[in-house]
A and B are shown apart, each in its own frame.
Chain A
């Protein structure tokens, strides 16, 4: 009994070490979206530049798309921008943008400076659609399937590695779905 008891602190230490080893190497900052496999929330936003057209969840159905939350005020968005330009140029996937709480002048200047990889941009000036999407920051990139359901969310910049290893295989898999 007392021998077993003298081992107890060591056992507790080992258990705590294992716990911290798991806890400290797991990413707890990224809030996983609860909207996986759910249809896009309802929204009805003006396109940017405003040509009278509306962007709705219907604008993202019928094919697999990347839905990218970005803004001209977002520094990290500049990092992922070249990746999207390349994808758009090579027609690898259609990218729909959601400009989150952006000012039209600044957004226009940003797109002129860096180029526009987006097939369509939804102008979420008040930021309500972003909240409905569970956006926690910019940039975030959702993979939307043919039926307009959210299948994946990537938080942070999309780089070549993320595209090749995560997004591209998923896009191909979803394109094969009926």
Chain B
């Protein structure tokens, strides 16, 4: 049962990406088609903004898929296609923003946060190490209390 279920999930996981691209859009040349797929997977659908053009069922996304394939067929390089899209929709259209002045924070922030975490962990571990390894001896009153408890035990 579990095996069947995981198989179904696996099939679903792999077929998901192929849902939006319709057969009549696909280029005859598999190499060009592969480039088009890779390119449109990194282009943001401007209608449903957290989907890629490759994933989206929006009519505008379809138009852009066809347009990208036309440009590839006409001999554009990947960079030229990306530049074409940026000219019209800005850098926001790229799902992975380029590393540049105004995106440095975006790219570096995760490392900074991990760095802070490591620093915090290091400080904590050091504070543990500074504490005496052996516990302080019991006071006379505590020893008394322990003895009484032990004596009471059946």
Contact = CB atoms under 8 A, between A and B. Distances in A.
A101 interface: yes
A136 B89 contact: yes
B67 interface: yes
Interface in A97-145: 101, 127-128, 131-137
A32 interface: yes
B30 interface: no
Interface residues of A, number: 19
A133 B87 CA distance: 10
A136 B90 contact: no
Interface stretch (B10-18, B58-66, B72-80, B135-143): B58-66
Contacts of A31: 46, 49, 89-90, 92
Contact of A131 (B88, B90, B127): B88
A34 B93 CA distance: 11
A134 B88 contact: yes
Contacts of A133: 88
Contacts of A132: 88
A32 to B, nearest CB: 7
Interface of B: 46-47, 49, 59-60, 63-64, 67, 86-90, 92, 123, 127
